[in-house]
Structure 1
Amino acid sequence: MEHAVEKAVEATTSGLVPPPRTGAFSPFRYPVFRAIWIANLFSNLGGTLQGVGAAWLMTELTPSHQLVALVQASATVPIMLFGVFAGAIADNYDRRIVMLVAQVGMLVVSATLAGLAYAHLLTPALLLAFTLSVGIGTALNSPAWQASVRQQVEPREIPQAIALNSISFNIARSIGPALGGMLISIWDVSFAFAINAISYVGLIGVLLWWKPEARPVDRRPILPAVAVGIRFCAANGPLRRLLIRGFALGFSLAAYQALLPAVVSANVNGSELDFGLMLGLFGIGSIVAAPFTGSLRRKFGLEGILAIGAGMFVFALSLIAEVHDILYALPAAFVAGMAWVMILTTINTAVQLRSPEAILGRCLSIYQAVTFGGMALGSWAWGALADWKSLPFALHAGSIFLIVSFVLLRIVAPLPKLGEGVLKQA
């Protein structure tokens, strides 16, 4: 029996070098994880440059706060609409191939966007269409990428690997915005878009090099496969409560991300460099918080760490609603970044540890569809509220909604306690 278990573990981690002990950075001992992490860092950097460029370009194309907020929404709406189907695809097919198809598609779309921006042919509607197309690629890629972590490291390393992937994204967030602001001010947004297109090449190369052991696949038609995932998440109490909380938090957190370009441009009268600096400090805050999220989660539990993160986000929203000087807005960006990673990394890890391998892609895609769907709806709602009333009004409303929803859902949909519903990983 023991021999069979050892062989099963070897099959899932073949070619990997297991670390002698676990730690915050121990997944880097695995060559496959390390290579994908580095390539993904550069891809994330390119994506951040494109996000900064698209958001700032929209402020130049239109005075509408709602259209500016929809740039953020267009990146997350596809995850809400197509993410569940992407999860079924990730479970039905080789996850490496799914990621390759998504990366190549995003490269083509980003290169076309760069060409149109260089020719000054973009309109608000066309810009939203291209960011929506990149979002579709992200929706296809994300479940396969997150589920493939189990093929890159041993099961005991999964929480640390998830945290390190979050750090990769937030390193790009800390460097990319300032770099993007500088590139936009020196050249124009087309250069930022072009760099994003090039950034996909490295990850495509690593995925072509990686040859993971084939995993058993119970292939089903897409719609029945999706139904299996939805039924499991709906019937599983801990997962169901996590999804409810993820939606409410995503809706609230969207107020910061969606309205930040308008805040910097209108309230603070800042430049693209100021916008990049705000996003950079957001990323730095995320990097600082990520290594400590696991220990905080063990100390305070899921409910405790999310309460801390929500309180920090309320502070950030309230501060940027009132300031008119970039220097006073900077602390809000740093605190918001810390809160962001504490909240989303905690929920992501909790969902992964409670999802069976056979439907992991579907469970993760449902989580993403719900959470990022909340962000997309929130981006639209807070942008519309800002146009109707004002930016400060919408930001304060976001704070109030976050507080009220957190208190109510803590009673109606309490988060699972540590260990509740966690599956044993083979």
Structure 2
Amino acid sequence: MADGSDPRPAPVSPLAPFQFPAFRAIWIANLASNMGSMIQSVGAAWLMTELTQSHLLIALVNAGATIPILLLGVFAGAIADNYDRRRVMLAAQAAMLAASAALAVVTWAGAIGPLSLLFFTLAVGCGTAVNSPAWQASVRQQVGHAHLPQAIALNSIAFNLARSVGPALGGLLISLTGPATAFALNTLSYLALIVVLLRWKPATEPPAKSPMLAAIATGIRFCAQSDPVRRVLMRGFSFGFGAAAFQALLPSLVRDQLKGTELVYGLCLGAFGLGSILCALWVGAARRRWGSERVVSVATLAFAAAMLPVALTQMVGAVLVAAFTAGMAWVGTLTTLNVAMQLRSPDAILGRCLSIYQAVTFGALALGAWSFGLVADLWTLPAAVLAGGGWLALSVPVLHAVAPMPGRDEGRVAP
């Protein structure tokens, strides 16, 4: 029965995963790394508004961080399942450090242009694409199966805590010193996580290796044959595509519609992050009480509603409230989808399943960024944002009928 409800075990403290030293250390280091990444993303997005008037190129800065997940995601998942996940994360973090350092040097030298900025954004995105499946699949090694939902929520809080503070700091830093300093600071932020990963020595069995293409085929076959997983992927694609209209076009909206500065842009992202944190604290309880289907549907409609003032008003305060609401809806949807995916994926192919989920969801985000950026260039910014909101609003009744969230124990793997 696919009623979207979840089982109701005895409540577990949302902070319970912090009792595990490995999770605690990685969480703190990851928070520092996320803070640097958010500062860099603000710098890159705002720098592009100074390099070009094209809404499409500005939107592609956001897409540049997610396109590699679409192109490399399934390969990254196979790598995460075939090799030591800690080593995979170390290699990815080192590559992102090198790309960010090169971006800082080129920007400082005054040699950066729209295409080179997109290149470096794509390079960092490639590192993220390789790192993400290994990192998410390693959470079970850090806390075990019983605390997995709480650990996922806490990781979401770390990301969104960085998203709430990092953009405002990034906007202030860029206004005072320029984007090169922001890129250099992000370069340093990778060091904390690299040090923690070097010290973490999880006791794991050597992974059973299989040929890359065969491993990828196994993951795709499982996701295609599992009806609950297939429905989660459909929900992820639909939400990612529509939400891109807000995520990718926000720099253009701040510049052209609000007549704001990089600091206003940072504050908008900060409001988004604050909403994300607030939602992450209670979304688990909401799922237990109302079920995954209702949480995802309400959150998607809330995101769609938040896009109305973003498209139609020139008041900064109204956009900040809308961004706060969108942040809550973002986490309510994606955290619920992530938990549903993890609990229905066998451990042996967990990396591949998560990489497919990310490729579908964030690939849709990249596709949406390109599509709505093109709409903004051909028509207007408000039209593009309203089109994204309309997509999300229409998707709720359609997907409720054809792809409801998995219910209770439907498709769950044994601990």
What TM-score, normalized by structure 1, do the two folds share?
0.94
Q: Please, which moves more after superposition, 323-332 or 164-173? A: 323-332
Q: Distance in 1 between matches of 2:200 and 2:380?
A: 50
Check if 1:315 corresponds to 2:329.
Answer: no
| Aligned counterpart in structure 2 of residue 200 of structure 1, from 190, 202, 206 | 190
- Match in the other structure for 1:22: 12
- Match in the other structure for 2:174: 184
**Residues paired across the two proteins, number:** 406
Query: C-alpha displacement at 1:299, in angstroms?
Result: 1.5
Check if 1:293 corresponds to 2:277.
Answer: no
Query: C-alpha displacement at 1:22, in angstroms?
Result: 3.0
Check if 1:363 corresponds to 2:353.
Answer: yes
Deviation by residue 1:189-219 (Cα, 9 ceiling, x = unmatched): 0000000000000000000000001224220
Check if 1:118 corresponds to 2:108.
Answer: yes
Deviation by residue 1:47-72 (Cα, 9 ceiling, x = unmatched): 00110000000000000001000000
SS class of match (1:156) = coil
| Aligned counterpart in structure 2 of residue 417 of structure 1, from 397, 407, 410 | 407
| Aligned counterpart in structure 1 of residue 251 of structure 2, from 261, 265, 268 | 261
Query: C-alpha displacement at 1:245, in angstroms?
Result: 1.1
Check if 1:306 corresponds to 2:293.
Answer: no
Check if 1:37 corresponds to 2:27.
Answer: yes
Q: Distance in 2 between matches of 1:394 and 1:326?
A: 19
SS class of match (2:406) = coil
Q: Distance in 2 between matches of 1:320 and 1:403?
A: 16
| Aligned counterpart in structure 2 of residue 211 of structure 1, from 201, 214, 218 | 201
- Match in the other structure for 1:5: none
| Aligned 8 A contact 1:66 1:386 in 2 | yes
- Match in the other structure for 1:15: none
Deviation by residue 1:62-90 (Cα, 9 ceiling, x = unmatched): 00001000000010000000011000000
Q: How does 1:234-253 map to 2 (within 5 A)?
A: 234-253=224-243
Query: C-alpha displacement at 1:154, in angstroms?
Result: 2.1
Q: Distance in 1 between matches of 2:73 and 2:135?
A: 13
Q: Distance in 2 between matches of 1:164 and 1:359?
A: 23
Q: Distance in 2 between matches of 1:22 and 1:346?
A: 17
SS class of match (2:410) = coil
Letter of the 2:78 partner, please give it: A
- Match in the other structure for 1:6: none
Q: How does 1:140-179 map to 2 (within 5 A)?
A: 140-179=130-169
| Aligned 8 A contact 1:52 1:180 in 2 | yes
Letter of the 1:247 partner, please give it: F
Query: C-alpha displacement at 1:221, in angstroms?
Result: 1.0
Letter of the 1:278 partner, please give it: C
Q: How does 1:8-19 map to 2 (within 5 A)?
A: none
| Aligned counterpart in structure 2 of residue 109 of structure 1, from 87, 90, 99 | 99
Q: How does 1:65-76 map to 2 (within 5 A)?
A: 65-76=55-66
Q: Distance in 2 between matches of 1:248 and 1:287?
A: 23
Q: Distance in 2 between matches of 1:373 and 1:287?
A: 24
Deviation by residue 1:348-371 (Cα, 9 ceiling, x = unmatched): 000000000000000000000000
- Match in the other structure for 1:390: 380
What TM-score, normalized by structure 2, do the two folds share?
0.97
Q: Distance in 2 between matches of 1:281 and 1:315?
A: 16
Q: Distance in 2 between matches of 1:60 and 1:152?
A: 43
Q: How does 1:119-138 map to 2 (within 5 A)?
A: 119-138=109-128
| Aligned 8 A contact 2:301 2:396 in 1 | no
Letter of the 1:380 partner, please give it: W
Letter of the 1:236 partner, please give it: S
Letter of the 1:239 partner, please give it: V
- Match in the other structure for 2:365: 375
Query: C-alpha displacement at 1:328, in angstroms?
Result: 1.9
Letter of the 1:22 partner, please give it: V
- Match in the other structure for 2:341: 351
Structure 1's unaligned 5+ residue stretches are 1-19
Structure 2's unaligned 5+ residue stretches are 1-9
Q: Distance in 2 between matches of 1:46 and 1:140?
A: 18
SS class of match (1:155) = coil
Letter of the 2:387 partner, please give it: A
Q: CA RMSD in A?
A: 1.0
Q: Distance in 2 between matches of 1:246 and 1:315?
A: 18
| Aligned 8 A contact 1:298 1:418 in 2 | no
SS class of match (2:138) = helix
Letter of the 1:101 partner, please give it: A
Letter of the 1:377 partner, please give it: L
Letter of the 2:218 partner, please give it: V
| Aligned counterpart in structure 2 of residue 58 of structure 1, from 41, 44, 48 | 48
Query: C-alpha displacement at 1:21, in angstroms?
Result: 8.4
Query: C-alpha displacement at 1:423, in angstroms?
Result: 1.2
| Aligned 8 A contact 1:149 1:161 in 2 | yes
Q: Which has the higher contact order (CA 8 A, sep 6+)?
A: 2
Q: Please, which moves more after superposition, 309-318 or 105-114? A: 309-318
Identity %: 57
- Match in the other structure for 2:212: 222
Q: How does 1:315-334 map to 2 (within 5 A)?
A: 315-334=305-324
- Match in the other structure for 1:4: none
